[in-house]
Chains A and B, each alone.
Chain A
Amino acid sequence: MGVSILVTGGTGFLGSLIVTALHEKHPDWHITILDLQPPPSQQTPNLNINYVEGDVTKAQDILQTVQSIAPTVIVHTAGLVPPLRNRFSRTLEARVLDINVNGTANMLAAARQTRSVTAFVWTGSCTAVIDNFRHSYRNIDESYPTSAQDSLIYGESKAKAEKLVLAANDFDDDGDADVGGEQLATCALRLSVLFGPGDYQLIPSVHACIAKFETPFVIGNGTNLWDVSYAPNMADAHVLAVENLLSPTKTAAGEAIFIQNNEPIPFRDFCLEVWKNFGHYPPFEVRLPEGLAWLAGWVAELGTWAVGTPYTLSTGSVMDACAVRYASGEKARRLLGYEPRVGIEEGIRLSCAEYAQRLKANELEKQNSKEKEQLRRDRTQEDLSWRLWRFLE
């Protein structure tokens, strides 16, 4: 019998990869995508993949939608990652909390009120633990506490939502199976920073450094390890989590699990490899000690405050670049049997090839239409402002 599965945010970068991965492994499963926008029309129509429009922040609508679909599994991946220029401020606080926390609460409420739902897999983030600049995070495991205080807004929203997701789990492996026929098993996957084909954040902004002559500058000592992951591997982890929560033992129920490529490298090396894929090598290297870079960031922030335009360099982005943040993949291996299928070297190659094609297509588009040219410029402008240091999902 086919399983019915609802994927929120299934049109987005990660969401669409999750839909693909689920469909590839379980072609008989029935997948419903819930998103604000429909998937691109060129996607081949498939009988087992449907789309419904929906907004996770609207509790009543969502409940009705979920009840009418009556899925067995919900994969809740819809969320908002603030763009980098808002990453270090609280300007988007209300919106981020509304989508990431209230949206999750709404989905959980809908899941509990829909008898058919037995499993709930939530796309979390490692930032629930590590979005706090006061600490280093070396090879951390799940015993580290989430950091709702002193965190950046994204990490705070993910920490709060994660608490809700784990609290909603009522599967208990020593309890009687027949007590609650409609027990809900939940789990949170804490993903690291990711990139992949179709990536509109990390690869484009690292690539943009070439045109801006920023590639020679190294902030800090360049040895701080950092987790970065190939997005299709993250989609695989979601499939494994769904399978786990549908199995009789449900070992992942009520658990938060770090998921990454298990290949921590310095951020600088990631950038060098991306640039290399575009045939660029920094002509020379200038090392900026962390303190000096922080000062420069502070001056830039002061400038921003005085002039009022959004800043690119900031104390936050400097600390992001110098932070040590990587996690152990032990629990994911033990509970889900997760091992990344594609290494980051191969992942970077595939992603850069895809982005080069996209750039080429944009170039063609530019020649074809002047109106579209303006639009493209706006978009590139946005990419540029994304800037170096660090990105989430």
Chain B
Amino acid sequence: MFITNVFYYLVHTGELRSIIQWKIWHTPVHERNEEEETPSLKKCFYFLDMTSRSFSTVIQELHPELLVPIALFYLVLRGLDTVEDDMTIALEEKDPILRNFHSILEKQGWSYDGCAITEKDRELLVQFGNVTEEFTKLKPAYKTIIKDICEKMGNGMADFCKKSDNNVNIVNTVEDYDLYCHYVAGLVGNGLTRMFVESKLANEALASRPQLQESMGLFLQKTNIIRDVKEDLDDKRRFWPTEIWSKYVTNFEDLFKPENKTAALDCNSEMVLNSLRHADQCLFYLAGIKEQSVFNFAAIPQCMAIATLDRVFRNPDIFKKNVKITKGEACKVMMESTQNLKLVCDTFLRYTRSIHSKNTARDPNFLKISIACGKIEQFIESIFPTQNPAAVLAPGDSSKLTGRAADDAARAARDAQQAKEAKEDTFYLILTVFGVVIFISAIMVFVAYMVGARFDLAFQELRKGNFMKIKSPEQLEALKKGEL
């Protein structure tokens, strides 16, 4: 494994460079103050490290105001998710836990050891007292938000569990799919937004845009659902909506058979298309965040998602194994998503174009994907225009513009002037080079002529089509005759 990695990065030096740069140059915006933390809070951060692969670091770099609330929010939802995911718990036992999880938060010392030993986050629930203890210390506003989301999510999950117990396909229609993703991810977007706004670290207008909050969650969740299709199948779970896959295969398992590769890829592209439609709204949302650590926290997962979406798009490997972006690519994306919205947009555009380049006419979703990609590009262009009206005006025409546009015009004119000068310089440079070449050639020709070169004969031969050296004595003879 190590050896293959070494070889991989020897070939992909650009990715290696990203890893090194991330390690050296990334400095957290804020850092935890571990000395002031209580033992139970330390334990909470320990669980955060244990349970989340990607979120732990970004959460720990959050603004102090949001650090603990969001870390606890994450652990609470992780606890809920662990109960929901565990297929060994009977429905009669699971249902009340899910539906009452929000009131459990206020119960000191609550713990649960009913999860299967194989469940990787089992320990979090066994020692859940640490979470509930810290939860009581939160500001009431954050408590209300976390409890509210917890209640909605628990009920939603319980509804879906009930459905799945009666029916294997828990997600039938695309509407179901959106609803399921709403419960497990859209609500997280809503809760986080309310916390951002509560802390005044984001524009309060975000609170009144439920569609944008929803997209933030759905874009991540849907992308993960596409990526994890094989893993979920192995765990006997299925989140791809029947309405979509049944267009391509009769049984869901057929997607994984090599003989159905084309159908499976077309199905894959419809799933990607469904996810891609949220991308522009995610960018819109990110524009509303004011504080750097919150921006990083929100932007990193989104950029990872678009990179993952590109990786999985029309990739047959997703039906065989778990496909992931490489560590090098992840570092590059993290670096780009921890600075500003412009760089995030550039990242989105890069991956959008990459998705577009893999689009193929034989795919039934071909034009829809093309339109979705075009829409993302147009949206990015609308928030970061790469040109302005002044740039297309003829010089001296700027009288038609006023205010900022006039400034732009002046700048454009100045740029144009500089470009023109640069062009002239290049022109003169080329002229000089060619002048010298021609001059030297002329001298050489003149010298050759003075010492007796017969250019007339050379021309004659060229006109006869003799471009090569004369080789045979006969030809030489013929030439001599001609000369005489």
Contact = CB atoms under 8 A, between A and B. Distances in A.
Chain A to chain B: the 9 pairs with minimum beta-carbon distance, closest first:
A139-B381, A272-B361, A269-B370, A135-B392, A264-B374, A345-B367, A144-B389, A265-B370, A263-B371
Interface in B357-395: 357, 359, 361-362, 366-368, 370-371, 374-375, 377-378, 381-382, 385-387, 389, 391-394
A377 B17 CA distance: 62
Nearest to A225: B374
Interface in A306-364: 326, 328, 343-345, 348
A132 B392 CA distance: 9
B126 to A, nearest CB: 53
B366 A273 contact: yes
A149 B371 contact: no
27 contacts: A135-B391, A138-B387, A139-B378, A143-B389, A143-B405, A144-B389, A145-B392, A145-B400, A147-B392, A149-B394, A223-B353, A225-B374, A225-B377, A225-B378, A263-B371, A264-B375, A265-B371, A265-B374, A266-B374, A269-B370, A272-B361, A273-B366, A276-B361, A281-B361, A281-B362, A344-B367, A345-B367
Given A149-B394, A265-B374, A269-B370, 13 more contacts: A134-B392, A135-B392, A137-B392, A140-B389, A147-B392, A225-B377, A263-B375, A269-B367, A273-B361, A276-B362, A276-B366, A281-B362, A345-B368
Contacts of B31: none
A294 interface: no
Interface string A110-135: 00000000000000000000001011
User: Chain A CB within 10 Å — which of B353, B367, B405 has the most?
Assistant: B367
B424 interface: no
B265 to A, nearest CB: 15
A136 B387 contact: yes
A276 B362 CA distance: 8
Given A138-B386, A225-B378, A275-B361, A144 B392 contact: yes
A324 to B, nearest CB: 10
Contact of B366 (A144, A223, A269): A269
Contacts of A140: 389
Chain B contact patch, size range: 20 to 34
A327 B89 CA distance: 56
B101 to A, nearest CB: 43
Interface of A: 132, 134-140, 143-145, 147, 149-150, 223, 225, 263-266, 269, 272-273, 275-276, 281-282, 326, 328, 343-345, 348
Contacts of B381: 138-139
A134 B392 CA distance: 8
Interface of B: 353, 356-357, 359, 361-362, 366-368, 370-371, 374-375, 377-378, 381-382, 385-387, 389, 391-394, 397, 400, 405
Nearest to B373: A265
A275 B382 CA distance: 31
A134 B375 CA distance: 25
User: Chain A CB within 10 Å — which of B356, B371, B397 has the most?
Assistant: B371
Contact of A139 (B357, B359, B385, B394): B385
A343 B370 CA distance: 13
Given A145-B397, A223-B356, A276-B361, A263 B385 contact: no
A264 B366 contact: no
B354 to A, nearest CB: 11
Contacts of B370: 265-266, 269
Q: Tell me if B's interface is mostly helix, strand, loop or mixed.
A: helix
A226 B447 CA distance: 59
A234 B359 CA distance: 29
A264 B17 CA distance: 36
A216 to B, nearest CB: 12
Contacts of A135: 387, 391-392
Nearest to A141: B389
Given A144-B389, A265-B374, A272 B397 contact: no
A328 B368 CA distance: 19
A260 to B, nearest CB: 11
Contacts of A348: 367
Nearest to B382: A139
A110 to B, nearest CB: 30
A229 to B, nearest CB: 13
User: Chain A CB within 10 Å — which of B370, B371, B394, B397 has the most?
Assistant: B370
B365 to A, nearest CB: 10
B374 A263 contact: yes
A281 B362 CA distance: 7
Contact of A272 (B357, B366, B375, B377): B366
Nearest to A326: B378
A225 B367 CA distance: 13
A134 B405 CA distance: 20
A306 to B, nearest CB: 22
A207 to B, nearest CB: 15
Nearest to A343: B371
A270 B357 CA distance: 14
Nearest to B362: A281
A220 to B, nearest CB: 13
A145 B375 contact: no
A223 B354 CA distance: 10
A343 to B, nearest CB: 8
Contacts of B377: 225, 264
A344 B361 CA distance: 15
A134 B378 CA distance: 21
B389 A328 contact: no
Contacts of B368: 345
Contact of A145 (B359, B378, B389): B389
B437 to A, nearest CB: 23
Contacts of A281: 361-362
Nearest to A143: B389
A275 B367 CA distance: 12
Contacts of B389: 140, 143-145
B392 A138 contact: no
A348 B385 CA distance: 30
Contacts of B394: 149-150
A328 B367 contact: no
Nearest to B368: A345
Nearest to B392: A135
Contacts of B378: 139, 225, 264, 326, 328
A145 B374 contact: no
A392 to B, nearest CB: 19
User: Chain B CB within 10 Å — which of A140, A145, A343 has the most?
Assistant: A145
A290 B74 CA distance: 51
A147 B392 CA distance: 9
A39 B370 CA distance: 38
A263 B379 CA distance: 11
User: Chain A CB within 10 Å — which of B381, B382, B393 has the most?
Assistant: B381
A262 to B, nearest CB: 8
A273 B368 CA distance: 10
Contacts of A132: 392
Nearest to A273: B367
A138 B366 contact: no
A145 to B, nearest CB: 6
Nearest to B356: A223
Nearest to A140: B389
Contacts of B400: 145
Contacts of B356: 223
Nearest to B397: A145
Contacts of B361: 272-273, 275-276, 281-282
User: Chain A CB within 10 Å — which of B387, B392, B393, B405 has the most?
Assistant: B392
A222 to B, nearest CB: 8
